[in-house]
């Protein structure tokens, strides 16, 4: 049996209707921006393998650091014990975040980072004897696939089977200068009951790379702060340079109480989630009463190998070469976006930093299940490019190591595909 046959016999793939799906492509090697399959074909990974691979595949520096750590300490229970990689990672990350972020809680993916944040907020109120349990979230939000993360995500066919099991959430529009007062009025109607507001800053990724203004988010955050509503900033996607700055927080004057991270945290090398919070949140759990403890944890909390990968990735992120690459990619995207705007088959072109998105004009409502997406996916694969359209929404989220020539190759093929469709 070949790899495809063996895979089909045993594996169940994510977001995949296994009955009708094509056989999975066996990838045997990754190097830089490229993936190589078992037949020797190579593909440019234009989506950073689900938005996680910051510095390219099999980066030698990250591999070296993880290998060294593997020979020193691979795992230790993080209840009652600690270790240098976790301490150093927390110290290094907090230096880059808004000053009010002062404590780090480790988990193992973006969904659980969100779960931790929600539990922090709800128990923060509970520990102080406050009856506040309602949560604000944006329409079309996506925060993960665990039950709490699904609850604060937009209701859709993805969540429908579990609809009666998800807790109540107040969904609001993303803010604009035109609707901000209406949003504030909607929130005010529940003011005494709302414990927190969770949001994807600047970009709603899985919703179709929907983008909105930092100034309008600042306005809404300021209102939440004035009304004692805690704020959870989900930077699972936007963190670590994707927006052109280190974090979406760098575009904002208002600061969240809690922040969530994953995806690019380890440069795509290993799973890890982080939830950071202010001392004000942390202190609400300090008590002689053991029942006020945050009872949450994971077997692999603060895994030394993942912490080491994150430390190495962060070093690479902060060096001048990477920062220059981020600005170069952002600039190339900006120039190409002007070309896309002139194309007769394209609409709603938008860009933030290294993220570029646009829509293919069609007669059907924009949808994740739009058949255009599958046709585009297959066409780009045949051209040696991995793209994963969200229905008729196309986007680029390349690794920071992508060269000018490789980006131009992607752009050229995008135009050729648009012309032929």
Any catalytic annotation for residue 282?
A: no
Outline where DSSP puts E strands in 119-228.
Answer: 134-138, 170-172, 194-199, 203-204, 210-211
Tokens 């202010």 belong to residue: 278
Q: Which two tokens stand for residue 47?
A: 């989506």
Catalytic hit among 263, 395, 400, 411:
263
Catalytic hit among 45, 108, 234, 257:
234
Catalytic hit among 15, 222, 228, 361:
15
CA nearest to 309, candidates 275, 274, 268: 268
Give Cα 337 to chain centroid, integer Å. 23
The Cα–Cα gap between 39 and 25 comes to 10
The Cα–Cα gap between 205 and 215 comes to 19
CA nearest to 90, candidates 301, 397, 299: 301
Q: Is 269 exposed, middle or buried (0-12, 13-18, 19+ CB in 10 A)?
A: buried
Any catalytic annotation for residue 263?
A: yes
Q: Which two tokens stand for residue 267?
A: 């440069």
Q: 92 — alpha (psi -120 to 50), left (phi > 0) or beta? A: alpha
Q: Which two tokens stand for residue 196?
A: 């927190």
Cβ–Cβ < 8 Å for 221, 254 = yes
CA nearest to 233, candidates 141, 341, 333, 342: 141
Any catalytic annotation for residue 15?
A: yes
Cβ–Cβ < 8 Å for 38, 30 = no
Any catalytic annotation for residue 199?
A: no
Catalytic hit among 34, 142, 395, 411:
142
Q: Which two tokens stand for residue 113?
A: 């980072």
The Cα–Cα gap between 190 and 185 comes to 9
Outline where DSSP puts E strands in 139-254.
Answer: 170-172, 194-199, 203-204, 210-211, 230-234
The Cα–Cα gap between 33 and 54 comes to 10
| Active site residues per annotation | 15, 142, 234, 263
């Amino acid at each position: 049996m070949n790899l495809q046959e063996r895979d089909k016999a045993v594996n169940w793939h994510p977001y995949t209707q296994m009955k009708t799906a094509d056989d999975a492509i066996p990838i045997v090697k990754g190097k830089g921006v490229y993936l190589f399959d078992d037949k020797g074909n190579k593909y440019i990974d234009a989506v950073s393998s689900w938005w996680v691979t910051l510095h390219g595949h099999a980066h030698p520096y990250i591999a070296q650091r993880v290998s060294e750590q593997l020979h020193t300490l691979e795992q230790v229970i993080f209840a009652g014990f600690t270790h240098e990689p976790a301490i150093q990672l927390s110290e290094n990350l907090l230096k880059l975040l808004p000053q009010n972020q002062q404590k780090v809680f480790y988990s193992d993916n973006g969904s659980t980072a969100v779960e931790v944040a929600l539990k922090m907020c709800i128990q923060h109120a509970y520990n102080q004897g406050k009856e506040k349990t309602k949560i604000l979230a944006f329409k079309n939000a996506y925060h993960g696939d665990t039950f709490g993360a699904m609850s604060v995500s937009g209701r859709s066919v993805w969540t429908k089977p579990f609809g009666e099991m998800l807790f109540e959430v107040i969904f609001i529009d993303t803010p604009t200068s035109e609707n901000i007062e209406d949003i504030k009025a909607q929130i005010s109607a529940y003011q005494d009951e709302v414990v927190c507001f969770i949001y994807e800053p600047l970009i709603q990724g899985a919703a179709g790379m929907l983008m909105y203004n930092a100034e309008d988010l600042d306005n809404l955050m300021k209102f939440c702060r004035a009304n004692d509503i805690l704020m959870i900033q989900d930077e699972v996607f936007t963190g670590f340079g994707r927006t052109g700055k280190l974090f979406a927080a760098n575009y904002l004057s208002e600061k969240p109480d809690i922040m969530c991270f994953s995806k690019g945290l380890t440069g795509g090398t290993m799973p890890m989630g982080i939830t950071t919070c202010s001392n004000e949140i942390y202190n609400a759990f300090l008590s002689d009463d053991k029942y006020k403890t945050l009872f949450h944890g994971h077997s692999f909390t603060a895994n030394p190998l993942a912490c080491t990968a994150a430390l190495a990735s962060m070093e690479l992120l902060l060096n001048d070469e990477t920062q220059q690459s981020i600005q170069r990619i952002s600039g190339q995207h900006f120039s190409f976006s002007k070309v896309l705007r002139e194309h007769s088959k394209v609409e709603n072109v938008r860009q933030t930093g290294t993220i570029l998105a646009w829509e293919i004009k069609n007669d059907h409502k924009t949808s994740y299940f739009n058949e255009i997406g599958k046709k585009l996916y297959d066409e780009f694969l045949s051209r040696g490019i991995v793209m994963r359209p969200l229905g008729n929404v196309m986007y680029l989220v390349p690794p920071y190591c992508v060269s000018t020539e490789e980006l131009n190759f992607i752009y050229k093929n995008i135009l050729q595909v648009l012309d032929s469709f």
